[in-house]
Amino acid sequence: MLAVIWSGALAATLGCWADLPEISGLGEWLAWAGRLAGLLAGYGCAVLLGLMARVPVLDRGVGTDRLARWHAFGGRWTVGLSVLHMIFVMGAHSVKSGLAAGTIGLIVDGRHIAEATIGLVLLVGVGVVSTRAIRRLMKYEIWHYLHFFTYVAVFAGFSHQLTGPDFAGGGVARALWVTLYITVAIALLWWRFLTPVRRALRHRLRIEEIQWESPSIVSVYLSGSYLEELGAEPGQFFRWRFLAPGMWWTANPYSLSAPANPKFLRITVRTVGDHSRALARLRPGTRVCAEGPYGALTAARRSRRRVLLIGGGVGISPLRTLFETLPGQLTLVYMVRRDEDLVLRDELDVIAARRNATVHYTLDETRSVPLTGRGLRALVPDLTEHDVYICGPGGMTRAARSALRRAGVPARRIHVECFDF
Ligand SMILES: Cc1cc2nc3c(=O)[nH]c(=O)nc-3n(C[C@H](O)[C@H](O)[C@H](O)COP(=O)(O)OP(=O)(O)OC[C@H]3O[C@@H](n4cnc5c(N)ncnc54)[C@H](O)[C@@H]3O)c2cc1C
């Protein structure tokens, strides 16, 4: 997938590279650099939106968390390139006619500069609120909805893009560029907006029952029509929108904690903040929209007969479904901070007995299974012969991954779902 994205970047800038030998003088160099930065920024915008369009083949093939990481990484570059584009182009005009005349010339030359400037300001604004330090200060939902200004930014800048030297004269390059943007727009409209509505009308999900598993963890059972058509695989998650006062405008990700079946879906949720606490108080009968299924932590990743599952806290949810359904010889390590966080234990024990699988329950405090290469090798002697599925909070998944790498497990056999975005 990354090869496709980089090839696209090369193709988008081919014309630019072809003109390189003829460039001379500072003004021409600046104009060329501005053109390259502009093309890459425009291409970056299309790719960034495409990565977040929730295209099933991407979400399942690459994994939603990895897509989000690529999106964040690409976002930083795209914002930077957009700013550089503006600086280089202004520089080129200033070299030609002086700063003031050059700037005025830029504004009046009919290249949709006003729209492009609005787009740039919005893009930079979204970039700023997405920096870790600022994002931490605001609620996830506010940050999420501010992010929607990216659509406005891209829409505002699009007409400006078509005025560049590569596209202004029409031709194949312009047609391909427009096709790229139309394809991304259709993908967004279809998978982010129309599919959830269509699914909501077809499946008519409702809360059937809420069960407390511990003082801070609930399991929510949902019923609905044609649930088998959802195609949810063990290990996957949905974004759940509960149609209750104060909750309908946010869709939070929760994994299925039991294999999907025609009668019900189940999620198991730790109450950590506003959404999850409100969710635990909802009444049976509440209507629910589910976007998904998403995620690549599925049986398709397995390449070995032996599988180790490592769950941290409520990260046990998707692993519980995989523990029941993955073929092969299974070992489960379930790590929790406190005794009361240990949930679904009865189910796990029944599955382990039925499958002749091994389960290790461990409290952080006792450190009975330290997340080190040696600790994991002591627990699972033929560790390097395993596929390993990991799910939990960021710190735990990172520690587990590096311990496994140190123990000699190849990266391609470590499959991670991280509950932090
Ligand atoms: C792929 C995935 C699967 C998950 N599965 C489960 C699960 O099965 N059980 C479970 O208990 N938790 C799960 N989580 C974590 C869960 O989504 C968050 O704990 C929950 O959204 C917190 O919302 P809140 O309002 O209660 O808490 P807040 O205090 O508002 O949020 C706590 C943190 O959760 C994250 N978060 C909040 N809202 C969202 C959102 N809409 N989308 C993404 N991240 C958000 C933010 O990083 C935030 O800092 C999963 C997360 C991901 C990414």
Residues 377 and 396 in one domain: yes
**Domain end residue (candidates: 264, 294, 324):** 294
Q: Is the CB–ligand 1 distance for residue 272 below 6 Å?
A: yes
Residues 123 and 143 in one domain: yes
Per-residue pLDDT of the chain (421 residues; tens, 9 = 90+): 888 889 888 888 888 888 888 888 888 899 999 999 999 999 999 999 999 998 988 888 888 888 888 998 999 999 999 999 999 988 888 887 777 776 776 666 667 888 888 999 999 998 888 888 888 888 887 888 888 899 999 898 888 888 888 887 778 889 999 999 999 999 999 999 899 999 999 999 999 999 999 999 999 999 999 999 999 999 999 999 999 998 988 889 999 999 999 999 999 999 988 889 999 999 999 999 999 899 889 999 999 999 999 999 999 999 999 999 999 999 999 999 888 889 999 999 999 999 999 999 988 655 556 678 888 888 888 999 999 999 999 888 999 999 999 999 999 999 999 887 6
CA distances to 38, 84, 349 from 166, rounded to whole Å, are 11, 18, 64
**CATH code at 410?**
3.40.50.80
For every residue of 127-181, DSSP letters joined together read: HHHTSHHHHTTS-HHHHHHHTTHHHHHHHHHHHHHTTSTTTTT-HHHHHHHHHHH
Residues 268 and 396 in one domain: no
Residues 283 and 347 in one domain: no
Give the pTM.
0.83
414-418 vs 386-392, strand pairing mode: parallel
Domains in the chain: how many in total?
Answer: 3
**Domain end residue (candidates: 242, 273, 294):** 294
**Domain end residue (candidates: 294, 314, 330):** 294
Q: For ligand 1, atom 15, which residue shows the shortest CA distance?
A: 419
Q: Is the CB–ligand 1 distance for residue 160 below 6 Å?
A: no
Locate the ligand 1 atom nearest the alpha carbon of residue 270 and give its number. 11
Residues 29 and 109 in one domain: yes
Q: Is the CB–ligand 1 distance for residue 273 below 6 Å?
A: yes
Residues 32 and 105 in one domain: yes
Question: Are 360 and 332 contacting, i.e. CB atoms less than 8 angstroms apart?
Answer: yes
Question: Are 371 and 399 contacting, i.e. CB atoms less than 8 angstroms apart?
Answer: yes
Q: Is the CB–ligand 1 distance for residue 276 below 6 Å?
A: yes
Cβ–Cβ contacts within 10 Å for residue 380, how many? 21
Domain, as residue range, for 138: 2-197
**CATH code at 209?**
2.40.30.10
Q: Is the CB–ligand 1 distance for residue 143 below 6 Å?
A: no
Q: For ligand 1, atom 13, which residue shows the shortest CA distance?
A: 254
Output the CA 80–ligand 1 centroid distance in Å: 29
Structure tokens at 65: 């968390």
